Amino acid sequence: MAEALPAHPDFLWRNPDPKPSYDVVIVGAGGHGLATAYYLAKNHGITNVAVLERGWLGGGNMGRNTAIIRSNYLWDESAAIYEHALKLWETLPDELGYDFLFSQRGVLNLAHTLGDVRESVRRSGANKLNGVDAEWLEPAQVKEICPIINISDRIRYPVLGATYQPRAGIAKHDWVAWSLAHKADEYGVDLIQGCEVTGFVKDGNRVVGVRTNRGTINTEKVALCAAGHSSLLAKMAGFDLPIQSHPLQALVSELFQPVHPTVVMSNHVHVYVSQAHKGELVMGAGIDAYNGYGQRGGFHVIENQMAAAVELFPIFARAHLLRTWGGIVDTTQDASPIMGRSPVDNMYVNCGWGTGGFKVTPGAGWTFAHTIATGEPHPLNAPFALERFETGALIDEHGAAGVAH
Ligand SMILES: Cc1cc2nc3c(=O)[nH]c(=O)nc-3n(C[C@H](O)[C@H](O)[C@H](O)COP(=O)(O)OP(=O)(O)OC[C@H]3O[C@@H](n4cnc5c(N)ncnc54)[C@H](O)[C@@H]3O)c2cc1C
């Protein structure tokens, strides 16, 4: 079993000053930037790498998400990369030597209308064909797995059944970031916090330097892992990304004894709930509808989310809300990510994971590192190339995304 490392960040990684040049500069020290750095070093032997972070490591969406991990997406392309990630999660704590509390407690995706039922049965069938553990459950079976759920037919949106993925679960997101950072640092990767990228130095259609508030850093290759700020960085490099940035909120209750044994998501009434290891009920909902970069959202979204939660889980009615927060998510028109080459020769993009990129952290890092190292798409990220917005080969995962956007 993996052993926990000392908790103080000084034991986890150095805080070096930037060197004048690197083989690869990664922008963003969220989960994706850190996993990319880790796999560049581990799988490809590329260690002259800097990860530049404008704030603090893991302080973006990586430290703000609700930590749900699953792979039950509809289309073959999505199932392949999310399932690859789920398999990596299953061995990652031992590989990184850090027990980040990966708990495979299953996920239920509830159906409340006949349309939901049809879509869900179809999706669990598609999942099985792709080797993803998924099954369709009737309401009584849902209740067996999650006894506190209300399956009465007298509520506004009764539970008509659910898809269930037993291998899905949660992990402690900030510990995942720390453990990836620790290992990347051990390989010699420089993790540079408080270093904001403000522009790029170009020679023709190549980037030769990255402008930052700590000076210009020369580089052979640039990899963008900036989530909600990706389109701003692309603009600085001279191209557009079809990304809309929105606030996405989450919240936790006060601490309770264990009452909620799994993860429950309802796309229709719009709430999802799990219980953190230390006892908080962790809940989220859909994005705030407007564009913004404020890392906070509107109260009405929380109010609607609470109404949905209490209808599904009457036992929550007297629970107190402890704190709420928001992150900035990068949404695309087909609710699928963008990974691969960009219109700039030596710049690579990994973004558009929207409301659901935590679960793919190791899978995104693995495949993106391949693309950066070889200059070629990885078979698992090839379908998610930017060109699909020109060819029309979209991968519409709005139904499986779990959170409206
Ligand atoms: C409330 C909420 C709940 C979520 N719940 C889930 C969930 O349950 N399951 C799931 O799979 N996903 C979930 N997500 C989505 C998931 O968090 C993201 O898709 C994923 O974290 C994005 O990758 P990342 O970790 O690398 O992003 P981030 O952690 O946001 O990393 C990007 C980093 O880039 C940095 N950056 C930006 N601009 C610059 C610049 N100019 N210079 C230097 N650095 C820069 C930022 O400061 C940031 O640290 C949720 C998101 C939110 C906000």
Mean pLDDT by 10 residues, the chain (405 residues): 51 93 98 99 98 98 97 98 98 96 98 96 97 98 98 94 98 97 97 98 98 98 98 98 97 96 92 95 93 93 91 94 96 97 98 97 98 98 98 92 60
Query: How many angstroms separate the CA atoms of 14 and 130, rounded?
Result: 42
Which residue has a Cα nearest atom 18 of ligand 1? 357
pLDDT at position 5 is 52
Q: Which amino acid type is present at position 190?
A: D
Give the residue among 247, 331, 333 at the shortest CA–CA distance from 292.
Answer: 247
**How does DSSP assign 251-266, residue by residue?**
EEEEE-SS---SEEEE
Q: Choose which residue among 231, 355, 397, 403 to substitute to test ligand 1 binding: the one with the highest number of ligand atoms within 8 A of its C-beta.
A: 355
Residue 393 DSSP one-character state = -
Q: What is the pTM of this model?
A: 0.97
* Alpha carbon of 353 to ligand 1 centroid (Å): 9
Non-local CB neighbours of 60 within 8 Å, separated by 6+ positions: 28, 30, 227, 228, 327, 328
| CA-proximal residue: ligand 1, atom 48 (nearest) | 60
**pLDDT value of residue 1:** 44
φ, ψ dihedrals at 167, nearest 5°: -80, -5
Work out the burial of residue 147: count CB atoms within 10 Å of its CB; fewer than 13 is exposed, 13-18 middle, 19 or more buried: exposed
Separation of CA 159 and ligand 1 centre (Å): 32
Question: What's the 134 CA to ligand 1 centre distance in angstroms?
Answer: 27
Q: What residues flank ligand 1, with Cβ below 6 Å?
A: 27-33, 52-55, 59-62, 64-68, 196-197, 225-227, 229, 233, 248-250, 284, 327, 329, 353, 355-359
Atom of ligand 1 nearest to the CA of 360: 11
